[in-house]
Amino acid sequence: MTRLYLPADSFAAAKGADQIAAALQQACDARGLPIEIIRTGSRGMAWLEPLIEIDTAQGRIGYGPVSINDVNALLDAGLLAGGAHQLCVGAIDDLPWMRRQTRLIFARCGFIDPLDIESFRNAGGFSGLEQARAIGPQAVIDVITKSGLRGRGGAGFPAGVKWKGAADAKAETKYVVCNADEGDSGTFADRMLMEGDPFCLIEGMMIAAFAVGAATGYIYSRSEYPCANAVFARALDLAREAGLLGAEAFGAGKPFDIELRIGAGAYVCGEETALLESIEGKRGMVRAKPPLPVHEGLFGRPTIINNVLTLASAPWILVNGAKAYADIGCGRSLGTMPIQLSGVLKHTGLFEAPFGLTLGELINDIGGGSRTGRPIKAVQCGGPLGAYFPPALFDTPYDYEAFAARDGLIGHGGIVAFDDSADMAEQARFAMEFCAIESCGKCTPCRIGSVRGQEVIDRICAGENTEMNLAVLTDLCQTMKLGSLCALGGFTPYPVLSALRHFPQDFVASRKLESAL
């Protein structure tokens, strides 16, 4: 029996992996070759999906991107023995993309069957939770604090401080909420982990719940992620069947369970207080702070809310210690970040690395530069609320503070590369449009300002009173920055103003005219 691995992840699925799995099984049956296909998560090398892997004495050998028409030729070439073929990429672990990473969160993703608890355990799963239970809640919070782990959802708030706040709050009922509403364009790490190693996230949520004393956890995912939601729901069922979740999750009389909730297509519900409102069954309106969720969160109870990647970092930290984690990274940005590369790059996908690489290294070395034959013009970092960086700023180190110093955002780790066919005025306009579509409506500068912003950009591009309208746009951005309750209204000015600052020529009417001719 030869064992083959083929992702069931959304990347691979979008490229026909399910049909390939069926064709492969059929072809091998016809040839009398006994095989077992294990459907895994993705390794994160999206450009190679669907990527078939095969166990050999040299480790796992990969073939990709495979199309359904390649199946017979691959078998003819001796796929099952790791035979030579033009789609063969060699040993997965030797690929530069893999070798250059420090995979702490994503160590198992793409490697194991995501829904096999035994494989998870054999690959080190649940040892972080065991360690947590051995040292007790107080010590867990201490380790997380000393590790320097910061929130990976966008704001970079120290996780230990949040956990301590909830642990210290006096209340019968507390909640742990996992923010899996991954709405930022250019990001897919939460999705990949939920599809590729869901028990890692369950373990992280359990550690957090154990530390703060919560008996109930919620994970809030998005309707745009049907595959991730199905895998995660199944993982929760399996964990319950195995007694890992439920009445005795943390020992006799110490219950913990997790409920999966699904959003309904509202970007703003990724904002933590809007997310809590949404779980409570209300419109996703942002709440004013204080009170902080750690004091008065879900259903008015002390609640920690963390991103998927924040929680999924906890198991490694518990096993390896705070110092080992804090030794990775740079400045006050410690540990690893699953960086998500997309856009016109040759190599796109997930690359988990210590903070500190420069943007240029990420774009040109890791991402391999442009694949379109046209030069990179700009990259947007940190999702729709993040600034556009021109190549002149590619020396910026990937680090929360270094990015902030250049009016940029690490956010949830997305980097989207545009080549010189991009019209940055159109991108600026879209930032305003997106804000208008997704605004929760609570603040006037966000709700109305974003609509005005689109009109003003249109006028600038049409050459109407350019000077005056540029001043209006700058003013409007200032008002949005100062007068918005959350980062949707408050940060939309960053992509707009960075586009204007670095690419003023794109806002000039005459150039538009020229390119239209």
Number of residues that bind ligand FMN (CB under 6 A): 21
Does position 272 interact with ligand FMN (CB under 6 A)? The reply is yes
Binding of ligand FMN by 439 (CB under 6 A): no
Of 325 and 418, CB closest to another protein: 418
Q: Is 186 in the site for another protein (CB under 8 A)?
A: yes
Range 132-141, long-range pairs (CB < 8 A, 24+ positions)? 132/206, 132/207, 132/210, 132/211, 132/318, 133/210, 133/250, 133/251, 137/167, 137/210, 137/211, 137/212, 137/213, 138/167, 140/207, 140/210, 140/211, 140/318, 141/167, 141/211, 141/212
Using CB under 8 A as the criterion, what x/- string covers residues 192-211 for binding another protein?
Answer: x-------------------
Binds ligand SF4 (CB under 6 A): choice among 286, 318, 410, 500: 286
Partner touching 445 among ligand FES, ligand FMN, another protein, none, CB below 5 to 8 Å by kind? none
Instruction: Retrieve residue 225's tokens.
Output: 């992620």
Q: Which is nearer to ligand SF4, 413 or 493 (CB)?
A: 493
Q: What value, to the nearest 5°, has the Cα angle with vertex 387 and ends 346 and 475?
A: 155
77, 60, 86, 69: which is closest to 3 by C-alpha? 60
Q: Which residue, judged by CB position, is nearest to ligand FMN in the bound state?
A: 151
Q: Which is nearer to ligand FMN, 224 or 458 (CB)?
A: 224
Closest CA to 381 of 362, 356, 354, 353: 362
Q: Which stretch binds ligand FMN (CB under 6 A): 9-17, 178-186, 422-430, 472-480?
A: 178-186
* CB of residue 64 to another protein, shortest distance in Å: 12
Least distance from ligand FES to the Cβ atom of residue 416, Å: 7
- Out of ligand FMN, ligand SF4, another protein, none, what residue 360 binds, judged by CB under 5 to 8 A for its kind, is none
| Interaction of residue 277 with ligand FMN, rule CB under 6 A | no
| Contacting residues toward ligand FES, per CB under 6 A | 185-186
Q: Which of 193, 385, 410, 443 binds ligand SF4 (CB under 6 A)?
A: 443
* Count of CA atoms in the C-beta half-sphere (13 A) of 421: 7
Q: Are 98 and 43 in contact (CB under 8 A)?
A: yes
**Residue 485 contacts which entry, ligand SF4, ligand FMN, another protein, none (Cβ below 5-8 A, type-dependent):** ligand SF4
Q: Which of ligand SF4, another protein, ligand FES, none binds 286 (CB below 5-8 Å, type-dependent)?
A: ligand SF4
- C-beta of 114 vs 148, nearer to another protein: 114
Site for another protein in 339-398 (CB under 8 A): 340-344, 348-350, 380, 384
**Of 394, 408, 326, 406, nearest in space to 362 by CA:** 394
Give the CA distances from residue 145 to residues 151, 157, 160, 291, in Å, rounded to whole numbers and listed in that order: 12, 11, 4, 22
CB of 68 to another protein, least distance (A): 13
How far is Cα of residue 239 from the mean position of the Cα atoms in its chain? Answer: 24
- Dist. CA 481–CA 67, nearest whole Å: 48
Choose among another protein, ligand FES, ligand FMN, none what residue 53 binds, the Cβ cut-off being 5 to 8 Å by kind.
Answer: none
Q: Contact with ligand FMN (CB under 6 A): which of 9, 70, 197, 271?
A: 271
Distance of closest approach, residue 71 Cβ to another protein, in angstroms: 18
Neighbours of 373 (CB within 10 A): 7
270 binds, among ligand FMN, ligand FES, another protein, none (CB under 5 to 8 A by kind): ligand FMN
Asked if 359 and 389 count as a contact pair (C-beta separation under 8 A), the reply is yes
Angstrom distances, CA of residue 273 to CA of 63, 225, 284, 292, 429: 44, 21, 8, 9, 27
CB of 443 to ligand FMN, least distance (A): 12
Provide the token pair at 35: 């095989």
Which of 270, 315, 343, 453 binds ligand FMN (CB under 6 A)? It is 270
Min dist CB 453 to another protein, Å, is 17
> Cα 112 to the chain's mean position, in Å?
20
Q: Which is nearer to another protein, 188 or 210 (CB)?
A: 188
Report the alpha-carbon distance of residue 186 to residue 412 in Å, rounded: 9
Distance CA(174)–CA(271), nearest Å, equals 20
Give residue 7's identity as a one-letter amino acid code.
Answer: P
